[in-house]
Chains A and B, each alone.
Chain A
């Protein structure tokens, strides 16, 4: 399988390393010339090829988008025509700045990404965990402590392809439904940055879907998404709102506030 990764930062290089270990043929690109990231790729993801973005896309059966969220519009709209595009980005205003389109997207930022790349088959996935969790928590299929990762998309074949990728990277893929459900996997969605087992994640997403269909559809996500300054984030570890956790659950992994999410370098404790 040939994987293209757009973005050679923390997330991109981590995914490249894990994908190489899983047997993928990986091509990865940064924002500039291939040689600018050649050393980085050589050290952090040996075996992956540093290429231009166009080459990474051309190379790939499946492409992961792992650029800083505020920069995805720098990519040309028809770049991913026909490709399965796994959107692993998260929008965080404190890091990405004000972006009315992303902040106001009721069904999540991946819908905006799909609008931008109309000819791509966008699946939201791999955005839920921090980059070093993606690095360290991968387990073989069937392992008792395998962590679940959701995948939401409108094209069933694309979702299946993304789920195969998730599986081979060492996580239990969970079909999270249509792309508009991807909002549940974002910051302020309860599975974000929490290591659930597959059944737990399925249950959580199912419950959310019930709530959405039984109440005013726009209300719940809007309230969740505006909680940045004043809202109370749900207690996500051993959450009282989430499903019960099995006793085998790896609490040490239910940790690292400092590392949660795929974004940015923590120098400050107050990030």
Chain B
């Protein structure tokens, strides 16, 4: 199992609660990634948004800076909004990142749950499905079979086109991010791409039918079985109490904004408790968080777990502390729990 960290480069607060400047947030993210490597985390993945609270609009530039400061950690996105990207440009950016990082680039591509990029880049939300399908088609071809001859609705056709730089076979592992649309699950299987479930609310076990759908779809399309990953939210501190006390106010603030924008109900503390107890917030001491992660990995048969760490404007220092605990304590403990469970199964007591 691979363990990643995901971030959207949120505008954080400083010690006095004042917002940190956007450029500083970006430099802080590089430091967070450097720490992530030093504590043994497998990957560092950055989102793609176009709004004032997130500084991740050019994630490949940040990832390239991280590449220059690290040697081992994989560098990816969570997620790239492929629907409003030019697949050729996305390819060149990440093939180049793959080169400068010596083969460490990876991607999660998705349709985007926030739709800010559609008007910004001149796309019509009415084409939401078609855009993603067409761009995924071109992007996977660029990854797999250059030169490419291709035509579609949304960009000029390509005729026997080579796009540089070339990448070695199998490089830039590309996952499809899915939030619950069955059609997207089937599409990931059809393109023979691994599946990344984004579960940010409710019990993760309710996604088990989607795992089943993905496996059956791969089978039906005659493809080999592929890895399944999970992206969820969390925060780790020395004790459960400290983790809850630190995360809750920021979580509340973040979801209140979301509630205003979307017509959702604002979050309550009971809601937060339920999410932490058995939902999609992995918040607590290293032991608590490790137990929950190990449990969901087993329940859904996961090969990858990405933690979107520290929801909201949690200050940089506490983000670093979470990364340190996740790498040094949570991940080794999850591996231990999974190994114990495997041994138990092997001797017939599991």
B123 nearest CB across to chain A (Å):
10
List residues of chain A with CB within 8 A of the CB of B182: 8-10, 13, 37, 40, 44
B261 nearest CB across to chain A (Å):
6
Neighbour of A269 across the interface among B180, B212, B213, B255, CB < 8 A: B255
Interface size class on chain B is 35 or more
B135 nearest CB across to chain A (Å):
17
- Let me know if B268 is at the binding interface, CB within 8 A: yes
A194 nearest CB across to chain B (Å):
6
Whether A237 lies near B216 (C-beta < 8 A) is: no
Neighbour of B217 across the interface among A13, A39, A231, CB < 8 A: A39
A73 nearest CB across to chain B (Å):
10
With A39-B217, A251-B270, A261-B263 already in contact, the answer to whether A271 and B198 are too (CB < 8 A) is no
Whether A270 lies near B258 (C-beta < 8 A) is: yes
With A43-B216, A257-B258 already in contact, the answer to whether A267 and B177 are too (CB < 8 A) is yes
List residues of chain A with CB within 8 A of the CB of B255: 257-258, 269
- Let me know if B104 is at the binding interface, CB within 8 A: no
Docked complex: A174-201 residues within 8 A CB-CB of B: 186-188, 192-194
- Let me know if B259 is at the binding interface, CB within 8 A: yes
- Let me know if A241 is at the binding interface, CB within 8 A: no
Kindly name the residue among A40, A71, A235 whose own CB sees the greatest number of chain B CB atoms within 10 A.
A40
Whether A228 lies near B263 (C-beta < 8 A) is: yes
Neighbour of A254 across the interface among B179, B213, B271, CB < 8 A: B271
0/1 interface trace, chain A 256-269, chain B, CB 8 Å (1 if under): 11111100111111
Of B17-25, B85-93, B273-281, the stretch lying at the interface with chain A is B273-281
List residues of chain A with CB within 8 A of the CB of B124: 97
With A236-B265, A256-B279, A260-B264 already in contact, the answer to whether A265 and B126 are too (CB < 8 A) is no
A39 nearest CB across to chain B (Å):
6
Whether B113 lies near A252 (C-beta < 8 A) is: no
A160 nearest CB across to chain B (Å):
29
Interface of A is mostly: loop
List residues of chain A with CB within 8 A of the CB of B79: 267
With A39-B216, A269-B311 already in contact, the answer to whether A258 and B125 are too (CB < 8 A) is no
> Which residue of chain A is the closest to B210 with respect to CB atoms?
A44
- Let me know if B227 is at the binding interface, CB within 8 A: no
**For the complex, what is the distance from the CA of A221 to the CA of B78, rounded to whole Å?**
38
Whether B114 lies near A268 (C-beta < 8 A) is: yes
Neighbour of B183 across the interface among A9, A228, A266, CB < 8 A: A9
A239 nearest CB across to chain B (Å):
9
A33 nearest CB across to chain B (Å):
13
**For the complex, what is the distance from the CA of A38 to the CA of B55, rounded to whole Å?**
41
- Let me know if B202 is at the binding interface, CB within 8 A: yes
- Let me know if B319 is at the binding interface, CB within 8 A: no
Whether A267 lies near B113 (C-beta < 8 A) is: yes
The 9 nearest A-B residue pairs measured at CB? A265-B179, A258-B201, A187-B263, A97-B125, A255-B271, A236-B265, A252-B274, A267-B198, A251-B270
Binding site for A on B (CB under 8 A): 8, 47, 49, 51, 53-54, 78-79, 110-115, 118, 124-126, 128, 177-186, 198, 200-202, 206, 209-210, 212-213, 216-217, 220, 231, 233, 254-255, 257-268, 270-271, 273-275, 279-280, 308, 311-312
Binding site for B on A (CB under 8 A): 8-10, 13, 30, 37, 39-40, 42-44, 68, 70-71, 92, 94-97, 131-132, 135-136, 186-188, 192-194, 227-229, 231-233, 235-238, 251-252, 254-261, 264-271
Show 11 A/B contacts (Cβ-Cβ < 8 Å), sorted by A. Answer: A37-B182, A40-B185, A40-B213, A43-B213, A44-B182, A97-B126, A231-B260, A255-B271, A260-B262, A261-B264, A267-B177
